[in-house]
Structure 1
Amino acid sequence: MRLKHQEFFKSHWPLLIPIPILLGLISFTLGRYPIGLDDLLKTIYWYINDPTQIIDPNMSTVLFEIRIPRVIVVIMVGAGISMAGSAYQGMFRNPLVSPDILGATAGASFGAAMGIIAQQPISVIQLYAFVGGLLSVFLATRFEKMVKYDPILALVLGGMLVKALFNAGLSIIKYLSDPEQTLPAITFWLMGTFTDVIPSHMIQVGIPLVISGIFLFVNRQRLNVASFGEEEARAMGINTKRVRLEVIGACTLITASSVSICGQIGWIGLIVPHLARSLTGPNYRALIPVSALIGSSFLLICDTICRNAFAVELPIGLLTSILGIPFFVIIFKQKAGRA
């Protein structure tokens, strides 16, 4: 039965595309300013054709300046982090790997903290975070030259050391921060939030996502071969070093751009690839797009809950952790039972 539904989703995964679209439409209507579906469709129609016909300007502002950009960014971040997690799990041949394996999240957090303590505007803070994420992965990949007999081990060790370094730097910054102003701002940013999303963020996340998605899609067959191991992939004519560089570059671009906008969001890149793999199997031809669709849907559900379930907005990183841990336990028990 399991093999049958895997074969079905492997060839019919586009059937999942309407799910994030429907969830996005629902999310547009929910919030402190509720909007009916009929009003939503009318406002979008008149905004495109004749903005002067919009009856309620506040509804237009809420939709096009706040909700629509936020929902689209959430969808893109969820899709990107999930694709990065699935690609890394195959490349490292480890089901416990997540997109921050090479320290991208730690570097981005350190960069954001530097921007916050320097009292920079939010756009500069996001730039600091993006550069910090790229820098951390660059340093981690330098270890590959030091352990030539096992490049994957070198990357893992490099990621561990770089994460420890940037986490130590982040702890120093938090220790020296003003407990009344900058420390709460750093702490809130580290918990993850989409509160500060603006329309321009759709471009800042969308361009890296498209570029990285193309690279991962082009390398989907090579990822299938690389998951068998370094020697086996080379024996089948795969340039493993080139594949690693392209996959790492694509995943780093996704992770750094996402974390720079919304802060740390854990468990998405670890749990979603397992859920997608249970539907499609390990074939990356279907695993990458299915991971993107499930990840965008899951993160959108979490964000909608964070916006509406409490009197104040809950940091999304907390909710993904709360939901992610039970999911991981269930998946682990199912795999242990099959073993």
Structure 2
Amino acid sequence: MNNQRPFLLILMLFLCLPLFALIALSLGRLNFSLATVIKTFTNPGANPLATNVVQNLRFPRVLAALFIGAALSSAGMAYQKTFANPLVSPDLLGVTNGASVGAAMAILCGGGVWLTQGAAFLGGIIAVGLALLIPQLLHQQGNLILILAGVVVSGFMQAALGLLKYLADPDSQLQSIVYWQLGSIAKIDRPSLLAIFPILVVGFLILLAYRWHLTVMGTGEATTQAVGINQTFEQVIIVIGATLLTASAVSLSGTIGWIGLVIPHVARLLVGDDARFSLPLSAILGGIFLLVIDTLARTLSAGEIPLSILTGFIGTPVFILILATSHRRKSL
């Protein structure tokens, strides 16, 4: 594929992000025109009600949706390329279950939003750290042993989460844990975003720095060794970058499924397997997708719909369509 076409597609979608954000800011239980939304930033005193709703309630959510969607989809692309497996998702090494355990412990301790987010981030990092440590303790290397270590850690974290749910007060704490697991960005504010943003930037920069090698790593370990890439070292670095993105996203929003699995496939269908283009495109598409999902979550009904419910309903048929399209292309 000509490199100019993927670049132009990425540039066009990136330049459209402000428009998508303005549309999301205008929609909700109170609808505003795009002109009114723009005026809340250029002349906040003209409409105090609109300014309060747009800047204090919706603007942090819009930014969070863009950042979290980009983080999860980028991490999914990195994992799928690193492990040469298109069915891999960002929670491969137990980061999501580890974050859930951390959040559940904070909820049981009566912690607020900040403590829950911090404990979730720490839980996700610990889970991946354990998954990386197990192959070292067994003196074994390779994708298979690392994936198996992730399965073991995920299983342990699921058991721990089940115990915490059993101990939780069913009238208050259990509901909070379950709601957190279903995913929501309703409680995200500017300080939360500012605290996590540097970590998101570091994780994404790591993946961008290694995007040249991700394409080769996606073809399998034999090809990686043939071109002289240090598979083990670069795999660890990429996993660290993807884990920082996933743990940061999950600590803010809870568990949101399908984005890290489906969006990388969509990006590859549009620009091919070259990670130089598919990685940034995946980030942009992931941000747009979650922005649409969150807008639907707060406008479809009187109550807030958990994000994982909508991503599941939309992601499942989209993924089936992608698989059917890929199979049809291979058979031609």
TM exceeds 0.5? yes
Counting matched residue pairs gives: 330
| Counterpart Cα distance in 2 of 1:107 and 1:149 | 23
Equivalence for 2:14: 17
Q: Which SS does the other structure have where 2:46 is aligned?
A: coil
After TM superposition, the score normalised by the length of structure 2 is 0.95
Is 2:38 the counterpart of 1:41?
yes
Equivalence for 1:239: 230
| Counterpart Cα distance in 2 of 1:319 and 1:19 | 23
Equivalence for 1:295: 286
> Could you tell me which of 197, 202, 209 is aligned with 1:206?
197
Q: What CA deviation, in whole Å up to 9, does each residue of 1:218-252 have, x standing for no partner?
A: 10111122222223223322122221121111111
Equivalence for 1:100: 91
Equivalence for 2:317: 326
Query: Structure 1 residue 337: deviation in Å?
Result: 2.2
| Counterpart Cα distance in 2 of 1:24 and 1:201 | 19
Q: What CA deviation, in whole Å up to 9, does each residue of 1:292-327 have, x standing for no partner?
A: 111111111110000101111100111001111101
Is 2:261 the counterpart of 1:266?
no
| Counterpart Cα distance in 1 of 2:12 and 2:26 | 24
Q: Which SS does the other structure have where 1:136 is aligned?
A: helix
Contact preservation (8 Å) 2:114, 2:192: no
> More displaced, 304-313 or 194-203?
194-203
| Counterpart Cα distance in 1 of 2:17 and 2:149 | 36
After TM superposition, the score normalised by the length of structure 1 is 0.93
Q: Which SS does the other structure have where 1:17 is aligned?
A: helix
> More displaced, 135-144 or 57-66?
57-66
| Counterpart Cα distance in 2 of 1:274 and 1:258 | 20
What one-letter code is carried by the residue in structure 1 that aligns with 2:10? W
Aligned positions of 1:177-256 closer than 5 A:
177-256=168-247
Contact preservation (8 Å) 1:266, 1:320: yes
> Could you tell me which of 147, 154, 162 is aligned with 2:145?
154
Stretches of 4+ aligned residues off by more than 4 angstroms: 146-150
| Counterpart Cα distance in 1 of 2:186 and 2:80 | 30
Is 2:236 the counterpart of 1:282?
no
Query: Structure 1 residue 12: deviation in Å?
Result: 4.3
Q: Which SS does the other structure have where 1:282 is aligned?
A: coil
| Counterpart Cα distance in 2 of 1:36 and 1:116 | 39
Contact preservation (8 Å) 1:212, 1:250: yes
| Counterpart Cα distance in 2 of 1:103 and 1:260 | 14
| Counterpart Cα distance in 2 of 1:19 and 1:36 | 18
Aligned positions of 1:10-159 closer than 5 A:
10=7, 12-47=9-44, 54-146=45-137, 150-159=141-150
> More displaced, 325-334 or 225-234?
225-234
Query: Structure 1 residue 37: deviation in Å?
Result: 1.6
Query: Structure 1 residue 277: deviation in Å?
Result: 0.1
Structure 2: 5+ residue stretches without partners: none
Equivalence for 1:50: none
Contact preservation (8 Å) 2:259, 2:286: yes
Seq. identity, %: 36
Note closer, same or farther for the CA distance 1:12–1:305 as it changes in structure 2 (3 Å cut): closer
> More displaced, 220-229 or 167-176?
220-229
| Counterpart Cα distance in 1 of 2:138 and 2:15 | 46
Q: What CA deviation, in whole Å up to 9, does each residue of 1:49-102 have, x standing for no partner?
A: xxxxx1332322222221111100110000111011011100000000000000
What one-letter code is carried by the residue in structure 2 that aligns with 1:251? A
Q: Which SS does the other structure have where 1:102 is aligned?
A: coil
Contact preservation (8 Å) 2:39, 2:46: no
Q: What CA deviation, in whole Å up to 9, does each residue of 1:245-297 have, x standing for no partner?
A: 21111111111111111100000000000000001100011011100111111
> More displaced, 191-200 or 30-39?
30-39
Q: Which SS does the other structure have where 2:188 is aligned?
A: coil
Query: Structure 1 residue 35: deviation in Å?
Result: 2.1
Query: Structure 1 residue 33: deviation in Å?
Result: 2.5
